[in-house]
Amino acid sequence: MSHGYPADSPTVRRHGRAIGFSPSPNGCSIRAWWTQDGNPIGTYSSFEEAVQAGLEALGCEDPAEVERETARIATEFHEVDWR
């Protein structure tokens, strides 16, 4: 699942597909990527931007869902030991 990304990266799952989130190498931004193949979706300056892009890639554009998932992903993100 990790394709070079940390195995315990937080994910958003919809319809049998998943997007992972991890810090960029310099730690200044957040990467969103397809967990199935590791292909990047993009690099973002905030959790909200990253989660919104991930959910849009999964076909979800509901602002309430973006807000809920952003809070969850941010919490999980800070619980991971990225070292």
CB 56 within 8 A of CB 70: no
pTM of the model: 0.92
| Residues 26 and 50 sit within 8 Å (Cβ to Cβ) | no
- Please report the pLDDT score of residue 2 as a whole number: 57
How confident is the chain (83 residues) per 10-residue block, as mean pLDDT?
A: 79 96 94 95 98 97 97 96 85
Place of tokens 């810090």: 23
What is the reported pLDDT for 81? 87
Q: What is the pLDDT of residue 82?
A: 86
64: which residues sit within 8 A by CB, 6+ positions away? none
Domain boundaries in the chain?
11-78
Angle at which helix 47-57 crosses helix 63-79, to 10 degrees, equals 120
